[in-house]
Structure formats: structure tokens, C-alpha cells
Structure 1
Amino acid sequence: MSSSRGGPDQPPQRRITRTQTAGNLGESVFDSEVVPSSLVEIAPILRVANEVEKANPRVAYLCRFYAFEKAHRLDPTSSGRGVRQFKTALLQRLERENDPTLMGRVKKSDAREMQSFYQHYYKKYIQALQNAADKADRAQLTKAYQTANVLFEVLKAVNQTQAVEVDREIVFLVSLGIMADLAQILEAHDKVAEKTQIYVPYNILPLDPDSANQAIMRYPEIQAALLALRNTRGLPWPRDYKKKQEEDILDWLQAIFGFQKDNVANQREHLILLLANVHIRQFPKPDQQPKLDEGALDDVMKKLFKNYKKWCKYLDRKSSLWLPAIQQEVQQRKLLYMGLYLLIWGEAANLRFMPECLCYIYHHMAFELYGMLAGNVSPMTGENVKPAYGGEDEAFLRKVVTPIYDVIAKEAERSRKGISKHSQWRNYDDLNEYFWSVDCFRLGWPMRADADFFCLPIEQLRFEKHGDSKPVGGDRWVGKVNFVEIRSYWHIFRSFDRMWSFFILCLQAMIIVAWNGSGQPSSIFSSDVFKKVLSVFITAAILKLGQGRLYFISLLYHNI
């Protein structure tokens, strides 16, 4: 069984951003690293403004102005953390830069300036990189598409003369009055928008259709793993699912269980690299067509589910890793089990400090997966079995991770930053130990809101009530399961007993040497002084007896 640590760090969320106030923003830094978390949507706009500032300061100003307007729409009251300071600093910078950039403007209007710069950027970067696609760096091309997409968004905002939504062709015709340029810009943007959906950021593996010729994608091990993941034959897709190019089993898991899009992309790379690394160790020089080896697949599966199988054995439960009888479907089923586990782990946030809790979640979700693939029918509705929490967007985060994290957060509040006694609140270890017993299955699936795991202590229930004056939680609190640390000043002596004993014995020996004979350290070798120094062993025995009594007293205090 594995263990964990205590104390919540951050709530489950889709993005993690750093926040700073205007006091340390500086004069020229407005990018994604300092944008408040509630305004994270404007980070790409400010990044583009910094990028194009040297080439055209007025365009950079217009980007920042659009970012300011968007920030105000996102948080009109500036109630978010650091939002007011950030908006104030950005507004002050806009006021300083307005006149200088206006004087350096080449065209007669901001609309013409943005139009000209967008066309210039498209020709210089997008078309140039496309023409040299075999030599161009894919990261540069991805960045160029994203920048062009932001520039078009700012261009459209600059050209809008009224707040109502109108057709974009009419907006440009009225504001620009140039049909030819309009057609070119719209055509360019359509291409950029299409490519932006393909050229998305990635960590190691570019998995979009246009990256098949990338060097890393030519490795047989990568191709074998990717080909195996794209085997979606026989999977029951939801009726309202929109098909896309080159789907794989992780896309199916996302549609069924409601995982986040970015989590699916990260774990897709994760699983492919795990399989490829094990495969290349077993077969350093493949001589045949790319094909995922069953031995490599079993090795990865064994490592991933080592703790889960130990957990099932410890609780005397059968695992949910059931394989089909048809040999052709075994590989697909193994990949589905591994993909489901990695998706749960990738989206678990602070629940990763509770590994047995993840085992509990996976146990039930893997069982649901088996039921769907086996075609089981619900006795209540007569339809095929569906996940307990549905497949809506971010369903796993909202309905599974967040309720458990709320328990962690409430327990952390009870600790009062470590001031409360350990017996009065639960940390990660204590919450995880709840899943070390078969009693955890009383939590059910879907999880019961009135289960003892979610119950609050009686004294806390007095302050948290519904409108009908009924308590939020149940009538019991799980509390500590095993060891409870009792803190007192006696711990100073108990924890450093060897040091205290050593100091006392040394002091006794030095007093004996100092008060006998000449007082020189060499006098310890004389027979009379040496015999007296040996009395330190008697003192050591007395100290051990005192230590034992203190330990016995502490146990009595703990039981009381």
C-alpha cells in the first residue's frame, strides 16, 4: 500500500496561472506570466502585443487596448484577485502610449493600420513558412497561426462600429470600404482558422495530420503505438458525438466519461511514449512493419496497475480488469483500461496524494467501462449501461474530483494553519486511510452525498445549515483511523532523548575529572578517577528508566 502527505495545495481547475499585482508588474511586462487567473483569456492577446511591438507599436497598442476591453467584460467589477491592480496598471500604460504610437502610425486610421499589418504578417510569416514546409520549424508555424488568429480578432474589434452582432462581411465593407482587400483578408483568415485547429500546442509528439513527416513521428515504435490507439472498431460512440479526423480510443473515453480536452491530449502523448519506450527496449532494431508488441503492452499495464491490484488483494475484491474472450479485442481492451487510468490520474489534481482513493474511483469506472463494452442493459431503463456521472463536458472534474477535494479543503480549514490538534482534523493520509478498508464501498457509486466520508464534525454542522435549518452533513464524522499524534512540550525531550542523555553523561564525566586530582583531562586514566567515571552507566540506566516512565505517562494521556 502506498502513502501520501497532508495539506491541500490548490483546488482542481483547468488551468494554473501565476498572479501578481501592479506593484511588481513593471513598466513593460504584460504577458501570460502576470495575468490574473480570472483574466487568463487575454494572455494570448498581450503576448502578441509584446511580439509585434518592435515591428509596429501602434498595432501593439491596439492589441493591449482590446485586451483591456476584454478584461473589463470578463470582470466588470474587478472582484478577482489582482484584477483591479492589473487593469489600473494596463490603463496607465495605454494612456502613456496612445499619443506616441498615434504619431508613428503610417495609415490614416487604426482600421487601415490593422488591415495592412495583418496582410503583411500573413505574407511574411504564414505564406513563407507554408512554402518552406519541409524546412520550417513546426513550432514557429504553430505560433504564427496563433498570432495571426489573435491579430484578426483585434482587427475585427477595431473595425466594429456598433455593439450589435452583424455579419463580418458587412462590418468590413462599411468600415473599410475595400472589397478586394476584404476578400483577401477573409480568405486568409479562413485558412488561418482552419490551420489553427490543427496546429495546436504539444509537448513532445505533434499528432496532427500535417506532422506525419516529422522526424519523431517516423520512429516505428511511435507509429505502432499510435496505430494501436486508433483502433476504435466496435466502440459504441454517443449519438450526438461529432466525428473528427483520426479518432482514437482516448477520444472515445473523453466522450463517454467527460474528461477535459487538454487532459486527453496530454495523456495521449503519455501513453504513446510509455508504450514506445518499452517497445524499443525489447526490440532495438525492428525489421518488420510497425506493430505494437503484446509483451511491451503487458509490461506497461503491469506497472500502471501494480498498486491497484495490491489494493484489490488487500480488500479481497476482484479487480475490474476483465479481458474479452475474442483475441482480436484483447489489445484494444488493455489500451482502454490504461487510457482510462491515465485520464483519471491526469485530472485528479490533489487527489494524487490519495492513491487508494484513485484506486476506488478507477475500480468503479473500469467496471462501467466493461459493462458498456459488454453491451449490458440497465434493468430500470432497458437501455445500454451508461456511466453514473454521464459524459457531459468536464463531468469527471465537477462530479468526481471536486466533491472529494471539498472534503480536503474543509479539513484543512479545521487545522487553522496547523494550530488545531491533530485529532480534530484529517490530512491526506487520514482521508486516504478511509479507502484502506472495505467500509469505503459504503460510499457507493455514484457517491452518496450523505456518506460518512463527506460528514462534518458536529461543532462545524452548527454553523453550516440549509435554508430549512437542517444540517449539511450526516450525524457522524470519520475522524482519524489509525495513529493520532498528540503534541506537547514533552516531545522536545522524547524526540531528542539521546542528545539530552549524551549531554548529561558528558557533564557528569567532566565534573568527576575536574574535582579529582589535578583536574587535567589526562587524569581520567588514573584508576581512582576512572572507576568514578564508570558511574555514568548507572546514570544512563536511571535516564532510561525516566524515559520509559515519560513514555508510559504519554500513553495514558493519549488514551484519556
Structure 2
Amino acid sequence: MPLVTPGVCHGPRAMKRRLMEIFLNGFRPCLGFRKDNVSNQREHLVLLLANMHIRQISKPEQQPKLDDHVLDTTMNKLFKNYKRWCKYLGRKTGLWLPTIPREVQQRKLLYMGLYLLIWDEAANLRFMPECLCYLFHHMAFELYGVLAGNVNPVTGEYVRPFYGGEEEAFLKKVVTPISRIVETDKAERSGTIKSKHSHRRNYDDLNAFFWSRDCFQLGWPMRADAEFFKKKSDLCELCSSSTPQVCVRVCFILATVRSWVQRSRRRWWWSGGGLPELTGH
């Protein structure tokens, strides 16, 4: 029996060798991306690096190897928004590099390839760039754990991608659930499904969720019972919660505060605070 069977990774060294092979063939078996997506983005990455190489190097034909400066420039442009997103939320980036110099360039290529694959597979979710940052953030840490040979403390087995193991796993288990929320809200906006105007959300509304630290409550793998995946009409209009226990407490506090504010306003009005001053002209 071969050490590494198709689509399966055994041990840290085999995982590492397999993922390098996956990058050449396309991340497909271990991370669950489609074959055509892999081919397209492999060519996409090659063209990005080639174009940057031509612009940065005065005589590119005399330097056949990939220059580190070219790679870093391309990587900085590609991850500019992701780094800004991490900084805004106070999180460290998932772009961890190995200490062995000869492996640094390969790791950078893997991160860039992973991001492009997520971007291509996401389809209309590209209108939610911070959502893509969230997906890449977790998958980059997964990739690092796989390459480093980390062991799951619960199972005692080597770390494996949560959504890998079969082709189209990323599309079915990650992209489709989020897209379903978008399609439901789109149906509500078009009138196919009747709902209040305040319950309708668009791409910007959904993407705004990933600009807050609450987005990490989705977890990884993403929790199917998270409030993000619930329809807006299923949430309480006052506290935006779908949990009855939380809703009762929060709504009671909000109702108490609202009542106190209304009484204070009435007292201020009747005491003359709301009457305009009479000034002579």
C-alpha cells in the first residue's frame, strides 16, 4: 500500500509532500477544491508572478528564478485587504512562515494559491470581501497546522482540514450555506417571499457582520445554528437575538431603559424644557 493514497494524507511529512503536490495539481483532494478551479488559479498565479517579474526586473530573461522581491510585492498586493482586516479586528494574520529559509518561498506560494482558490470558488461571495478574509484566515491556520504536523489534542491524530477530503467539499459545505442566506434575502427583496423591509439584507449588510469581532463566533467549522445563518425575520426585532433565554433578559433591560428615557423626556417637557424661548426682535 502506498504511503500517500489519492485524496488522503498520512503523517506530517506525507502531508507536507502531498500539499506541495496538491499545489502543483491544485489543492484539490485535501482542501476540497474543484479541479477546474485549481487549473484556472494555478495559471492565474503564474501570470501574476510573471507580470510582476517583468515589471520589477530590468532584464527578466537573464534571471530565470523567481525573485523574492517579486514574490513579496505580489503577496503584499494580494493580501493588502486581509492584513487591514486583521489589524482592524485586532487579530494576527494567518500568514505564518517557517524558520527554514528554503521553505519560505514555497509557503508564500501556498498562501497565495489558497487565497486565489477561495476567491474563485466563492463566486458571488466576492461582493463580500471581508467574508473571504474570514474564510482565508481559518484555512490559512489549517494549512499551517497541516504543514507543521500539529496533532489534534482531542483525537490524537494529525490535523486535517475540516472541509477537505473530497472534491467540491469547499463549495458544498462553505460557499453554499452562505450563498443560501444571500439567495433567501434576495427572494425577500424581490417579493417572492413576503417580509418586512427591515428584515431584508443585501451583500453589504451581510458583509458588515465580518467587520466585527462577533464574526468569530461562527467558529471553524462554521456552526450551522449561528445567528448569521438565520433569517432576519426569525430574530427578535428589539434585540436581534434568536435565543429565547438571551432575548428575555436583553429585551427586559432594553424595555426598562426605553421606559425610563420616555418618562424623563415627559418630565423635561412639562417642566418647560420643551417650550421655545421668547425673544424680542
Which category describes the TM-score, using the shorter chain as reference length? 0.7 to 0.9
Alpha-carbon distance change, 286 to 389 in structure 1, aligned in 2, over 3 angstroms:
closer
Alpha-carbon distance change, 290 to 256 in structure 1, aligned in 2, over 3 angstroms:
same
Q: Which residue of structure 1 aligns with residue 219 of structure 2? A: 444
Cα deviation for residue 260 of structure 1 reads 0.5
Cα deviation for residue 339 of structure 1 reads 0.1
Q: Which residue of structure 2 aligns with residue 385 of structure 1? A: 159
Kept in 2, the 8 Å contact 1:458–1:475? The answer is: no
Which of 416, 425, 442 aligns to 2:200? It is 425
Which of 98, 108, 114 aligns to 1:340? It is 114
Alpha-carbon distance change, 405 to 312 in structure 1, aligned in 2, over 3 angstroms:
same
CA distance in 2, matches of 1:459, 1:396: 27
Contiguous gaps of at least 5 residues in structure 2? 1-12, 236-240, 245-281
The amino acid that maps onto 2:96 is W
Kept in 2, the 8 Å contact 1:260–1:393? The answer is: yes
CA distance in 2, matches of 1:385, 1:353: 31
Matched residue SS, 2:94: coil
The C-alpha deviation readout for 1:498-556, integer Å capped at 9, x for no partner, is: xxxxxxxxxxxxxxxxxxxxxxxxxxxxxxxxxxxxxxxxxxxxxxxxxxxxxxxxxxx
Kept in 2, the 8 Å contact 1:451–1:474? The answer is: no
Alpha-carbon distance change, 233 to 305 in structure 1, aligned in 2, over 3 angstroms:
farther
Q: Which residue of structure 1 aligns with residue 50 of structure 2? A: 276
Kept in 1, the 8 Å contact 2:22–2:29? The answer is: no
CA distance in 2, matches of 1:299, 1:417: 47
CA distance in 2, matches of 1:236, 1:247: 6
Alpha-carbon distance change, 250 to 409 in structure 1, aligned in 2, over 3 angstroms:
farther
Q: Which residue of structure 1 aligns with residue 183 of structure 2? A: 409
Q: Which residue of structure 1 aligns with residue 9 of structure 2? A: none
Q: Which residue of structure 1 aligns with residue 25 of structure 2? A: 251
The amino acid that maps onto 1:388 is F
Alpha-carbon distance change, 407 to 234 in structure 1, aligned in 2, over 3 angstroms:
closer
The amino acid that maps onto 2:184 is K
Which of 287, 290, 307 aligns to 2:81? It is 307
Kept in 2, the 8 Å contact 1:324–1:330? The answer is: yes
Kept in 2, the 8 Å contact 1:450–1:474? The answer is: no
CA distance in 2, matches of 1:448, 1:233: 30
Q: Which residue of structure 2 aligns with residue 267 of structure 1? A: 41
**Which structure has more RCO (C-alpha within 8 Å, separation ≥ 6)?**
2
Cα deviation for residue 252 of structure 1 reads 5.4
The C-alpha deviation readout for 1:43-90, integer Å capped at 9, x for no partner, is: xxxxxxxxxxxxxxxxxxxxxxxxxxxxxxxxxxxxxxxxxxxxxxxx
Cα deviation for residue 458 of structure 1 reads 4.7
Which of 16, 29, 35 aligns to 1:235? It is 16
Contiguous gaps of at least 5 residues in structure 1? 1-231, 239-245, 461-472, 477-560
Superposition map of 1:119-268 within 5 A: 235-237=16-18, 249-251=23-25, 253-268=27-42
CA distance in 1, matches of 2:18, 2:191: 48
CA distance in 2, matches of 1:376, 1:428: 36
CA distance in 2, matches of 1:448, 1:312: 21
Cα deviation for residue 421 of structure 1 reads 5.4
The amino acid that maps onto 1:390 is G
Kept in 1, the 8 Å contact 2:234–2:242? The answer is: no
1:456 aligns with 2:237: no
Identity of aligned residues (%): 65
The amino acid that maps onto 2:147 is L
Alpha-carbon distance change, 398 to 248 in structure 1, aligned in 2, over 3 angstroms:
closer
CA distance in 1, matches of 2:60, 2:82: 33
Kept in 2, the 8 Å contact 1:257–1:390? The answer is: yes
RMSD of Structure 2 on Structure 1 (CA)? 2.7
TM-score by length of 2: 0.74
Matched residue SS, 2:109: helix
Aligned residue pair count: 227
TM-score by length of 1: 0.38
Cα deviation for residue 322 of structure 1 reads 0.4
- Indicate the structure with greater helix content: 2
Kept in 2, the 8 Å contact 1:357–1:435? The answer is: yes
CA distance in 2, matches of 1:273, 1:421: 47
Which of 375, 380, 394 aligns to 2:149? It is 375
Superposition map of 1:98-109 within 5 A: none
Cα deviation for residue 391 of structure 1 reads 2.2
The C-alpha deviation readout for 1:423-475, integer Å capped at 9, x for no partner, is: 22110000000001000000010000110101124569xxxxxxxxxxxx954
Matched residue SS, 1:235: helix
Which of 70, 76, 84 aligns to 1:296? It is 70
Q: Which residue of structure 2 aligns with residue 84 of structure 1? A: none
The amino acid that maps onto 1:454 is F
Cα deviation for residue 417 of structure 1 reads 4.3
Cα deviation for residue 233 of structure 1 reads 10
The amino acid that maps onto 1:264 is V
Q: Which residue of structure 1 aligns with residue 99 of structure 2? A: 325
CA distance in 2, matches of 1:427, 1:340: 27
Q: Which residue of structure 1 aligns with residue 271 of structure 2? A: none
The amino acid that maps onto 1:335 is L
The C-alpha deviation readout for 1:392-421, integer Å capped at 9, x for no partner, is: 110000000000000111111222349965
CA distance in 1, matches of 2:139, 2:196: 36
CA distance in 1, matches of 2:128, 2:60: 40
Matched residue SS, 1:412: helix
Cα deviation for residue 389 of structure 1 reads 1.3
Cα deviation for residue 390 of structure 1 reads 2.2
Cα deviation for residue 234 of structure 1 reads 7.7
Kept in 2, the 8 Å contact 1:259–1:343? The answer is: yes
Which stretch of the first structure deviates more once superposed, 382-391 or 298-307?
382-391
Cα deviation for residue 254 of structure 1 reads 1.6
Matched residue SS, 2:225: coil
Alpha-carbon distance change, 234 to 378 in structure 1, aligned in 2, over 3 angstroms:
closer
